[in-house]
Structure 1
Amino acid sequence: MLQTVRMENTRIIADHQAILQEEQKMMTQTFQEQNLLLDAAHASITNELQTVQNEKTQLQMHLDHLVLDHNQCIQKAQDAEKRAAVQKELLESTIARLQSELEASIQEKTSLLEEKEGLQREGYL
């Protein structure tokens, strides 16, 4: 009977070891599959990160170019404003000079007309 119990224990132990080996084999396979999935996910994320970094670099270059263009436009606008202010001052001074000349011409005309009338009254004309 002891022999039978020992044989039964040996068989149970062998069965358990076989079950444990099968479970360990399944766990190892599951871990390997998960490891492959993790590697694939890591590769995908790394690739996507590289793509995003490349896009960021391109966008930064484009932004830098736009900032440069914007600054050039601002400088051109400021230069144009300065030129317009100078032109305005020049035009205003020209207008003032021409108004003075016109007033002087009108006064000279008035004086000449008065002189003419005086000469006509005196009979010289």
Structure 2
Amino acid sequence: MPCRPSFSSGFDGTSDQDAAMEAADPRGSESDGTWEELRLLKPREVRHLIWEQVPLVDASSSQEYLRHHLPGALHLPHGARLQQLRNVLPDLSQPLILYSNAQNRAAALARRLSNLDYANVYVLGGGIGILLALQDA
């Protein structure tokens, strides 16, 4: 059985972290359409999908990954060969949750995976810090 991150019980799906993530959502400030294609998830949505055993992909740098990462996450830092992911997760229709320290690396990786025909790529909006804050709450 995969190791799952611990979250505080009683989380009702609404939080200050969600509000902060929505306030930091860059989709409204971009005019080139780049963010329109990015599928951002709120922490509560990611938490639910983790329990559904949707694979996690950590796009953080190696140093950040060593400091903190979600249990069971595949580490695929910027510049990594995407063939690594294809070898581990060959099903292009399988949902994937990407995250990084502040969402930017995960967003860049999401675009790369989309270009490789991964159809269900999602990004944790706001980065791992928001999700980790739920554990400490």
Superposition TM-score, scaled by structure 2 size: 0.12
Return the structure number with greater helix share.
Answer: 1
Higher RCO (Cα < 8 Å, 6 or more apart): 2
